[in-house]
Amino acid sequence: MSWKEAAEPVLTRMPSVTRPEGHVPFRRKLGWTAGVLVLYFFLTNVTLFGLQTQTTSGDFYGQFRSILAGSTGSLLQLGIGPIVTASIVLQLLGGANLLGLDTDDPRDQVLYQGLQKVLVLAMICLTGLPMVFASNYLPPSGEVAAALFGSSGALMPVRALIFAQIAVGAVLILFMDEVISKWGVGSGIGLFIIASVSQQLVAGLFATEALANVTGFFPAWVGIVTGGIDLEGSLLEALLFEPGNLLAMVTTLFIFAVVVYAESVRVEIPLSHARVKGARGRFPVKLIYASVLPMILVRALQANVQFLGQILYSQLGDVGMPDWLGVYSDGQPVGGLFYYLDPVQSREQWMWFIYAPAGDPLDIAVRVLIDLTVMVVGGAIFAIFWVETTGMGPESTAQQIQNSGMQIPGFRRNPQVIEKVMERYIPQVTVIGGALVGFLAVLANLLGTIGGVSGTGLLLTVSITYKLYEEIAEEQLMEMHPMMRTMFGGD
């Protein structure tokens, strides 16, 4: 008996969102998308019951929060972390062809979706349980323990209650993502990342001291021009860094421009219809062919490594943890292996010549080099996995072109011939695009961005927004011309 036959009774019974029967009107898709987005913002503002109100533990995910979405101390404490981690496991298993699942087979599609849900539940336990029970990032309230159980020392049941809440929040975000994928526009994961990063960008642009603990770019410049903010030290440093933040604004605009330009750079392979004379088209192979989404997998992998370090430190402490493995100060790695594997997230972490103390220049250089290598090489590798497992590789693309009745002019109408032509472009463009995105993500982190958004988060937001715009335009075109729906593969 194969593993599919053994697991089928369980995987096929996993709860799922029912697919729509037939075409979903564009307005209804927008309605579902807007409704889920409102629910997402609502859940990020629902504080965990039983959590200690006065806590300075900070966010467990730190700078990874912008790509893992959610909000610390809320029902969506885990964000999309379990979904992304489960996707990494499935990507690796699928890339190694260990699952034996054919995504074109409806039965295997159901098994794949069920397996993904099982892995997400496992990741909720693997990340949520240590976060609640093995660390102090979500401290339980003694007052709640006394009110519910009659003793302020009965903290274990309160911890269990906190874990149950974040588990429910993680399951909700899983089904919210599924609702968007089947009934809305785009993907839920992409929408949640846009929502999370947009909040930081808006705060970084317009926040005032009265509303937040930071001053946004425009209020800061109003204060500089009117004399309300005193410029201390060098004038150039004050304008470039704090409080002027010109470098962050230039970096943000530069990333926006580069991603939009890269999305428009493509190699167009001419196509013609085999039976309809004069019917021609083009297959675009974009520079960022695998999109920016594989970057989520790279950063999530780094986040899980740091998560492991935090758990080990919380259990072993300064005495039991070897220095070569990690040296921590205020909960952050300052030495050892976990320090070098921790990605550079801001200017303060590497500009030792401006911000003191930033650390030893040699250690900083090694850390930056490791981060750059991981992002460039990891971006290329995960981009290849993404292309091969999502049906975007040369073989799958050639079969899609063959099934659509199209062919490449001057070549025989044969999937093997089309595949050889695609192999000239897709693998090379995939590697170059993945490495480019990884380099841009590190560059944005090094120079800083508006609102303290991580470079990966900014790249994801721009790319996902651009693709969402293209999908909305495509949906509107199909609404105006229903016959176009068959050409785009719709119902």
Tell me, what CATH number does 361's domain have?
1.10.3370.10
State residue 490's pLDDT score.
53
Secondary structure letter of residue 243 according to DSSP: T
The verdict on 177 and 256 lying in the same domain is no
State residue 488's pLDDT score.
47
The verdict on 165 and 257 lying in the same domain is no
Quick check: is 102 in a domain?
yes
The verdict on 158 and 253 lying in the same domain is no
Structure tokens at 67: 């790509």
Quick check: is 232 in a domain?
no
The answer on pLDDT for 186 being more than 50 is: yes
**In this structure, are residues 273 and 406 in contact, taking their beta carbons and an 8 Å threshold?**
yes
* Measured distance CA(319)–CA(305) in Å, rounded: 21
* Measured distance CA(186)–CA(180) in Å, rounded: 7
Within 13 Å of residue 180, how many CA atoms lie on the same side as its CB? Answer: 22
The answer on pLDDT for 40 being more than 90 is: yes
The answer on pLDDT for 101 being more than 90 is: no
**In this structure, are residues 458 and 442 in contact, taking their beta carbons and an 8 Å threshold?**
no
The answer on pLDDT for 487 being more than 60 is: no
| Nearest CA-CA partner of 347 in 339, 360, 356, 338 | 356
Lowest mean pLDDT among 32-46, 89-103, 281-295, 388-402: 89-103
Quick check: is 454 in a domain?
yes
> What integer is the mean pLDDT of 193-201?
87
Q: For residue 184, give every residue at least 6 positions away whose Cβ sits within 8 Å of its Cβ, in sequence order, or none.
A: 29, 30, 32, 33, 36, 191
The verdict on 404 and 333 lying in the same domain is yes
390 or 468, which is more confident: 468
Among the three residues 162, 184, 206, which one is the final residue of a domain in this structure?
184
The verdict on 284 and 421 lying in the same domain is yes
The answer on pLDDT for 49 being more than 80 is: yes
Residue type, 17: V
> What integer is the mean pLDDT of 8-26?
85
| Nearest CA-CA partner of 404 in 287, 273, 302 | 273
Quick check: is 227 in a domain?
no
Residue type, 9: P
**In this structure, are residues 196 and 205 in contact, taking their beta carbons and an 8 Å threshold?**
no
Question: Which pLDDT band, with edges at 50, 70 and 90, does 479 fall under?
Answer: low
The verdict on 36 and 112 lying in the same domain is yes
The verdict on 163 and 254 lying in the same domain is no
Dump pLDDT digits (tens) for 146-173.
Answer: 888 877 778 889 999 999 999 999 999 9
State residue 110's pLDDT score.
84
Quick check: is 467 in a domain?
yes
The verdict on 177 and 266 lying in the same domain is no
358 or 10, which is more confident: 10
- pTM of the predicted structure, to 2 decimals: 0.79
Quick check: is 209 in a domain?
no
In percent, the amount of the chain with pLDDT more than 90 equals 17
Among the three residues 145, 169, 184, which one is the final residue of a domain in this structure?
184
Quick check: is 197 in a domain?
no
The answer on pLDDT for 35 being more than 90 is: yes
The verdict on 474 and 356 lying in the same domain is yes
State residue 163's pLDDT score.
94
State residue 369's pLDDT score.
94
Among the three residues 169, 184, 199, which one is the final residue of a domain in this structure?
184
Q: How far is CA 99 from CA 108, 121, 391, in A?
A: 10, 19, 16
The verdict on 256 and 175 lying in the same domain is no
The verdict on 340 and 450 lying in the same domain is yes
The verdict on 387 and 269 lying in the same domain is yes
Residue 57: give the domain boundaries: 1-13+27-184
Quick check: is 54 in a domain?
yes
If one counts the domains in the chain, the total is 2
